[in-house]
């Protein structure tokens, strides 16, 4: 973290990341899970656990391949392999021809989104909104670091060390208890673009989370889609989810400037409609590893078709790279990812449009959201706390 980008305890900030005692998570430590040929995940949320239980979100249980290139490195800022990769990224990383549009140019943003499967939008957040989001994210990061001091548990998509999912580590699965995240549901900069992308204002919000990469996240995260669905059953093979209009849009908001070396997200243009198998990490061409959304200023927004191939990249800097998000479903689309995750009290503070967008996530008056405000890196701990809270809510607690 730098220049107060996230409000966390300074003592914690100074010791975040770069834990040399945590081995790289390549094939050497994931041998039993390295047999899969691709990162395709047609079952989405229905994907079963692998042989080894990963600290990962349900839709990414298939994403088990580690990064073989760093398997012999030490998780150290000055490791020769790390230093060489940092130099290469400084010179080559970044999507060529990346266009960052102004929020007012709704037509251009919509065209780029449908063409590429994503679009970057400048100045999506005001300074005050960005400060609030940094404060909210900083509090969660402090909790995660306190529970996982060396970053060895990690998690997020694929269960890699030094990486976490805000929503995935939440006992409630989402961050709708936080004003910092709720402000993202209905922004004057992104709402018109979402309405244009979906062709209607009748879409819904279903999630709030995002991800972060601590300094020393030396691994690439395999390319994947965020499949919050089960693939369509078409016996003649004529129709897949990739043949339909966009079902799900995620919007990420970087809290620091994205640079070639601090773990910018990579997006592969045009893959939201591709039926090709997603390549395993070891088989990716170099241009895919360098197809990152950078440089991009803090407070921008990255609107993503959830089907588009994307993945995390190494954070070889000394700063925490965090990108909270908010997640939307098209007016015609629903899945089991849609759960009650926002209290009625929180919902009542939202704008009228945000209230309508949240109509399927809001609880009834007085109904508790089990586990809201609790973020734990280990799934076993989240399940234990959730069971305890459920028992207490039903009057069966000790």
Report pLDDT digits (tens) over 335-385.
Answer: 999 999 999 999 999 999 999 999 999 999 999 999 999 999 999 999 999
pLDDT tier, 100 (very low <50, low <70, confident <90, very high otherwise): very high
Element (H, E) at 122: strand 118-122
Tell me what pLDDT residue 10 has: 42
Residue 2 has pLDDT above 50, yes or no: no
The pTM of the whole model exceeds 0.75: yes
Q: β-strands 321-329, 248-252: how paired?
A: antiparallel
Write the pLDDT tens digit of every residue in 294-329: 999 999 999 999 999 999 999 999 999 999 999 999
Residue 126 has pLDDT above 50, yes or no: yes
Each domain of the chain, given as residue ranges in start order, spans: 10-393
Q: Coil, helix or strand for 298?
A: coil
Q: Which of 1-5, 313-317, 388-392 has the highest average model confidence (pLDDT)? A: 313-317
The answer for 97, left when phi > 0, alpha when psi is -120 to 50, beta otherwise, is left
DSSP 199: T
- The residues near 288 (Cβ < 8 Å, ≥ 6 apart) are 223, 266, 268, 279
Could you give the CA distance from residue 335 to residue 53 in angstroms, rounded to a whole number? 24
Write the pLDDT tens digit of every residue in 143-169: 999 999 999 998 877 789 999 999 999
pLDDT tier, 51 (very low <50, low <70, confident <90, very high otherwise): low
Q: Which CATH superfamily is domain 10-393 in?
A: q2cbj1_9rhob like domain (2.60.120.620)
- Mean pLDDT across the chain: 91
| 97, 269 Cβ separation under 8 angstroms | no
Of the two residues 223 and 54, the one the predictor is more confident about is 223
pLDDT tier, 5 (very low <50, low <70, confident <90, very high otherwise): very low
Q: What percent of the chain has pLDDT over 70?
A: 90
Could you give the CA distance from residue 142 to residue 15 in angstroms, rounded to a whole number? 11
Of the two residues 58 and 71, the one the predictor is more confident about is 71
Of the two residues 30 and 310, the one the predictor is more confident about is 310
CA distances 267 to 28, 111, 120, 224, Å, are: 27, 17, 11, 10
Using alpha carbons only, what angle is made at residue 330 by residues 207 and 47, rounded to the nearest 5 degrees? 60
For 11, the token pair is 């003592």
Phi, psi of 366, deg, nearest 5: 80, -5
Neighbours of 354 (CB within 10 A): 18
Phi, psi of 250, deg, nearest 5: -110, 140
């Amino acid at each position: 973290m730098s220049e107060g980008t996230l409000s966390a305890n300074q003592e914690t900030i100074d010791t975040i990341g770069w834990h040399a005692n945590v081995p790289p998570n390549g094939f050497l430590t994931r041998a039993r899970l390295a047999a899969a040929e691709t990162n395709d995940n047609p079952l989405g949320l229905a994907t079963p656990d692998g042989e080894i239980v990963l600290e990962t979100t349900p839709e990414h249980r298939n994403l088990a391949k580690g990064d073989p290139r760093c398997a012999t490195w030490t998780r150290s800022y000055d490791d020769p392999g790390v230093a060489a990769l940092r130099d290469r990224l400084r010179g080559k990383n970044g999507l060529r021809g990346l266009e960052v549009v102004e929020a007012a140019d709704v037509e251009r943003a919509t065209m780029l989104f449908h063409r590429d499967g994503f679009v970057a939008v400048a100045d999506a957040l005001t300074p005050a909104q960005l400060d609030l989001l940094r404060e909210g994210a900083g509090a969660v990061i402090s909790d995660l670091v306190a529970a996982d001091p060396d970053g060895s548990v990690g998690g997020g998509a694929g269960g890699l060390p030094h990486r976490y999912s805000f929503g995935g580590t939440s006992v409630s699965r989402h961050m709708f208890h936080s004003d910092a995240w709720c402000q993202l549901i209905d922004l004057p900069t992104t709402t018109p673009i979402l309405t244009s992308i979906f062709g209607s204002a009748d879409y819904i919000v279903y999630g709030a989370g995002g991800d972060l990469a601590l300094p020393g996240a030396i691994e690439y995260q395999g390319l994947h889609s965020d499949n919050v669905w089960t693939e369509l059953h078409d016996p003649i093979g004529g129709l897949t989810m990739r043949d339909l209009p966009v079902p799900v849009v995620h919007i990420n908001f970087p809290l620091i400037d994205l640079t070639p070396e601090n773990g910018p997200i990579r997006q592969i243009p045009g893959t939201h409609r591709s039926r090709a198998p997603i390549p395993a990490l070891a088989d990716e061409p170099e241009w895919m590893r360098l197809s990152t959304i950078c440089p991009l200023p803090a407070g921008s927004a990255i609107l993503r078709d959830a089907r588009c191939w994307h993945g995390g990249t190494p954070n070889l800097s000394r700063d925490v790279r965090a990108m909270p998000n908010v997640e939307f479903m098209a007016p015609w689309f629903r899945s089991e990812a849609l759960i009650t995750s926002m209290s009625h009290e929180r919902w009542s503070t939202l704008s009228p449009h945000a209230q309508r967008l949240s109509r399927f996530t809001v609880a009834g008056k007085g109904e508790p959201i089990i586990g809201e405000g609790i973020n734990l890196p280990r799934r076993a701990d989240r399940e234990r706390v959730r069971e305890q809270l459920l028992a207490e809510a039903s009057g069966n607690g000790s």
